[in-house]
Amino acid sequence: MYLLGLDVGTTGCKATIFKADGALIVKASREYSVDIPHPGWAEQDAENVWHLLQAALCEAIARLDGGKKIAAIGLSVQGEAVMPVDQNGNPLRPAILGMDTRTDEQNHWLDEKFGRKHLFQRTGMPLHTINTLPKLLWLKYYESDCWKTARRFLLYEDFLIQKMTGISAISQCLASRTQLYDLSEGKWSDEILEETGIEAERLSAVYPSGTVIGELRAELAQAWGLDNCPLVVTGGHDQACGALGVGLTKPGLSMVSTGTAEVVEVVLDKPALNQTLEQGNISCYAHVVPGLYLAMTLNHSGGLILRWFRDIFCSEEVQQATETGRDAYDLIFGDLSDEPSPLFLLPHFSGSGTPWFDTASKGAILGLTFAATKKDFAKAILEGLTYELNINLELLRKGGVCIDELRAIGGGARSKSWLQLKADVTGIRVAVPEVTEAASWGAALLAGAGAGIFADAAQAAEDTLKIIERYEPNPQAVPRYGQRFELYREIYPTLVELNHRL
């Protein structure tokens, strides 16, 4: 039998079916939108996501040869998004996504009530609009009728588990991303729940990643074309699942994940809650591997900027891709100069991520002349994202976190030129695993552990890991990008006051 990893991100979902040795058998995906009803808001129709996820599932299962039996299903999901649901698990309003920035008022209240340092020490989550907690407080104050009516407040993992089994359950990993979870006690924080008026029974029960919650409902198994009812198993945050999928099972190992957002994850043996990481807004939360933790940097925009550039400026390349069957991104970003772009791009299209977490920051393009080309712009996008990555890596090193190699996953891991650029800008070796769909594989590993196929998901991840390529920093390119990086690091401080006035 096979293992199914479901990866439910911010702008798309994937259903990926694996063998127990990590071989990818079949994959299907769907894209969906992020709704922006007001400036700074970011919402999503969770029922539509569920509908499209099922469409991807049905496509993947239909393409299976032979028996259509799956042993277990694991979940890798976007973090922080929250939705109030009724007693049947149906959303009462659109989900409020992590990238939503409407909750400055609630964060000011949290700072006055608890203090940002105390919240960070308790939960590992810096004070920011990304967190689930201030979103719940916003709902409580501004949509009181919805707040009173809601039976529970779910994230995507427990929303989907309830859809599949009828049981409301969430992993410790994802729960620890909410700012409602006490890292030291390993449960929902009694102090935070009491002070904010959030009843524990309105949150899902918390389980370790890899825990069997129940069997897939028979009517869903039949509708999807399955010959059995697989086990449904807790997974975790998509970045943590990706970390497991590329063998980040020991302290000190790290990865860079480029999807909708760009994220660095570093494995820790205990929560890193020092002042440097606190001031740099580096979050720390429970890994899907028991007993381990992850430090995480974040750039909200990441690959979402590439999608924006494709959709707004690259209609010719999209049409050519449709006609030839090639990937539009390969046409746009596949033939760029080896030299640094004459342009700079500040990739703060949805505010800044770490280390500033400045929701008022904006994207910017600098250096424009009549000589600028679309290719210059495309290269500047990749460079801006990579310079932003390097700022966060420097902060991690300052906080005592050693990084010798970055394992690359997500869409960005398919671009050889971008991988080499990452090595040249950061000065760190970049490694590419054979399975770049690491988040799906991490979810499948947890499913396999829950089903008893693996005695230990972490050991299975190590046993199946294959590094197929490594990119070493180019000695000639490193100083060229180093000079450009020194200019880049001045852009945000130079523009910050102006952006706040805007």
- DSSP letters, 220-252, are HHHHHT-SS--EEEEEEEHHHHHHHHTT--STT
Closest CA to 132 of 169, 83, 77: 83
Helix axes 132-142, 104-113, angle to 10 degrees: 110
Same domain, 152 and 76: yes
170 and 32 belong to one structural domain: yes
Q: What is the pLDDT of residue 259?
A: 78
Is the residue at 175 inside a domain?
yes
pTM: 0.87
Please tell me the predicted confidence (pLDDT) of residue 67: 79
User: Within a domain: residue 70?
Assistant: yes
Distances (CA, A) of 62 to 55, 66, 67, 225, 343: 11, 10, 10, 7, 47
Q: Which domain holds residue 192?
A: 2-246
Tens of pLDDT along the chain (502 residues) come to 899 999 999 999 999 999 999 999 999 999 999 999 998 899 999 999 999 999 999 999 999 987 789 999 999 999 999 999 999 999 999 999 998 989 999 999 999 999 999 999 999 999 988 899 999 999 999 999 999 999 999 999 999 999 999 999 999 999 999 999 999 999 999 999 999 999 999 999 999 999 999 999 999 999 999 999 999 999 999 999 999 999 999 988 899 988 778 889 999 988 888 888 888 889 999 999 999 999 999 887 888 899 999 999 999 999 999 999 998 998 999 888 999 999 999 999 988 989 998 988 999 999 999 999 999 999 999 999 999 999 999 999 888 887 889 999 887 778 899 999 999 999 999 999 987 688 999 999 999 999 999 999 999 999 999 999 999 999 999 999 999 999 999 999 999 999 999 8
Would you say residue 288 lies in a domain? no
Do 34 and 176 lie in one domain? The reply is yes
User: Could you tell me which residues come within 8 angstroms of residue 350 by beta carbon, excluding any fewer than 6 positions away?
Assistant: 42, 99, 101, 300, 301, 304
Among 246, 269, 292, where does a domain finish? 246
Residues 14 and 146 in one domain: yes
Neighbouring-strand partners of residue 8: 13, 77
Co-location of 33 and 117 in the same domain: yes
Q: What integer pLDDT is reported at residue 277 of this predicted model?
A: 83
Domain tally, the chain: 2
Q: CATH number of the domain that 237 lies in?
A: 3.30.420.40
